[in-house]
């Protein structure tokens, strides 16, 4: 008796002609431990940019100083590590890094500027009150993704996404974040431009010129380029190149400008409600729920790109919906711990999968271990967090392009197939 036809969600692996070339390690084939540890640390470095940039922009507006900023960075890093592990073990089980999201910055700023906080004179007290308001809004907003994910409502939407219709979504996720790339590089062109040139040379040209060492340059181009340009920026700083520069130039170019190292404690473990009991306001909650819906759509496109670069089967709608549900749990944790920001799939880390051609789940789990380790050992984590922003922005310029490139290749393939 013939077997019944497969259900709609029981998708088959990619045909040989559809698989990405030269993928060394796919979802379930981990690299050797030494290589996996280095690749995991590289993922940690890439996601660290967003983790530092968001609190650096928000905490001063909330009334906090360097000490509060360092604690928020540690908390955001700690929650990101937990959420990445939850997503890799219980969610989609894809090599997706779950980190801070720029989508939640706008509603957080609206909370900071709310009239009920304008009369608070003490900066520290204002920071605590706005943080508690943000926590309450995030806790309520998390229910949107939790309900849509675990109830299966989002599965109905994902079923309507054909490969051709998903391509513009992935393109919007990748190319839509370019405002965080080139404009930020221009804020300190003397270190941002060398980072772009060096990263492109190490990842795209050196592997062809030196075939024996090509794999090492291709996989660890981010670590190599960041180390070289960061050292170059350090010499510029200690050499007095920015001694008489404008304050804005010093902030973007100096390696000691963030105040994170001095404000970070040696050892600390973030815990729920560390800023006090959350407060709730209906208007703030609805604004944060709108951001949560945008993050839901953005993460869906990122999940599609991650599954492709990991050489996994196309992500079934039920698995995608489950991943969104666990991402909602991640936003809930962000509200409980007090990160002043929600979470979504890290688009830059999805691009790193395409750059390194390593889509192993173990690598991302190791990167989550680095997040937890450096969030507890505050001083050591703050050292890496002091990497100048233009260096991180230069990395974004290449990694966001990899995510957008997937959509272009996919749309071209299916247009030719349907014509």
- The confidence band for 61, taking pLDDT boundaries of 50, 70 and 90, is very high
pLDDT at 217: 87
Higher-pLDDT residue of 373 and 174 is: 373
Per-residue pLDDT tens digits for 336-394: 999 999 999 998 898 899 888 898 999 999 999 999 999 998 888 888 878 888 998 89
Average pLDDT over residues 19-39: 82
Average pLDDT over residues 128-151: 96
- Degrees, nearest 5: CA angle 101-106-109: 115
pLDDT at 257: 67
- The confidence band for 22, taking pLDDT boundaries of 50, 70 and 90, is low
Residue 418 has pLDDT above 60, yes or no: no
Closest CA to 42 of 366, 344, 402, 357: 366
pLDDT at 16: 41
Average pLDDT over residues 294-311: 88
Give SS3 for 332: helix
Give residues with Cβ within 8 angstroms of 210, minimum separation 6: 217
Residue 2 has pLDDT above 70, yes or no: no
pLDDT at 4: 57
pLDDT at 241: 86
pLDDT at 13: 47
Average pLDDT over residues 56-70: 90
Alpha carbon 96 to its chain's center: 9
Contact 43, 348 (CB under 8 A): no
Alpha carbon 7 to its chain's center: 34
Average pLDDT over residues 113-127: 88
Residue 86 has pLDDT above 70, yes or no: yes
Residue 240 has pLDDT above 80, yes or no: yes
- Of 163-172, 179-188, 353-362, where does mean pLDDT reach its minimum? 163-172
pLDDT at 207: 85
The mean pLDDT value of the chain amounts to 86
Higher-pLDDT residue of 208 and 20 is: 208
- The confidence band for 414, taking pLDDT boundaries of 50, 70 and 90, is very low
Kind plus residue range of the DSSP H or E element containing 99: strand 98-100
- The confidence band for 216, taking pLDDT boundaries of 50, 70 and 90, is confident
Half-sphere exposure of 111 (CA within 13 A, CB side): 34
pLDDT at 183: 82
pLDDT at 416: 46
């Amino acid at each position: 008796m013939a077997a019944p036809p497969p259900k709609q969600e029981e998708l088959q692996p990619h045909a040989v002609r559809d698989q990405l070339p030269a993928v060394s390690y796919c979802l379930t084939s981990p690299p050797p431990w030494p290589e996996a540890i280095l690749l995991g640390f590289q993922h940690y470095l890439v996601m660290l940019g967003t983790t530092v940039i968001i609190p650096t922009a928000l905490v001063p507006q909330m009334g906090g100083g360097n000490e509060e900023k360092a604690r928020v960075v540690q908390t955001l890093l700690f929650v990101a590590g937990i959420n990445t592990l939850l997503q890799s073990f219980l969610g989609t089980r894809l090599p997706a890094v779950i980190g801070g999201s720029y989508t939640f910055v706008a509603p957080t700023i609206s909370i900071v500027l709310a009239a009920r906080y304008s009369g608070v004179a003490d900066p520290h007290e204002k920071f605590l009150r706005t943080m508690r308001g943000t926590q309450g809004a995030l806790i309520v907003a998390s229910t949107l993704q939790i309900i849509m994910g675990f109830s299966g409502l989002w599965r109905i939407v994902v079923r309507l996404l054909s490969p051709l219709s998903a391509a513009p979504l992935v393109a919007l996720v990748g190319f839509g974040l370019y405002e965080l790339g080139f404009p930020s590089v221009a804020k300190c062109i003397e270190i941002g431009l060398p980072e772009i040139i060096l990263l492109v040379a190490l990842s795209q040209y050196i592997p062809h010129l030196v075939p024996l060492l090509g794999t090492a340059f291709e996989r660890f181009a981010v670590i190599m380029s960041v180390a070289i340009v960061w050292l170059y920026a350090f010499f510029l700083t200690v050499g007095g190149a920015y001694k008489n520069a404008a304050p804005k130039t010093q902030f973007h170019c100096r390696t000691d400008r963030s105040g994170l190292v001095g404000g970070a404690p040696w050892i600390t473990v973030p815990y729920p409600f560390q800023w006090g009991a959350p407060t709730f306001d209906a208007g703030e909650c609805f604004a944060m729920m709108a951001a949560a819906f945008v993050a839901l759509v953005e993460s869906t496109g990122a999940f599609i790109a991650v599954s492709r670069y990991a050489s996994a089967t196309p992500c079934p709608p039920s698995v995608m919906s489950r991943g969104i549900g666990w991402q909602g749990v991640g936003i809930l944790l962000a509200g409980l711990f007090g990160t002043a920001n929600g979470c979504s799939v890290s688009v830059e880390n999805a691009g790193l999968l395409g750059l390194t051609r390593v889509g192993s789940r173990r690598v991302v789990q190791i990167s989550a271990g680095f997040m937890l380790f450096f969030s507890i050992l505050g001083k050591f984590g703050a050292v890496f967090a002091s990497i100048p922003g233009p260096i991180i922005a230069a990395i974004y310029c290449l990694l966001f392009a990899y995510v957008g490139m997937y959509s272009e290749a996919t749309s071209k393939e299916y247009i030719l197939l349907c014509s």
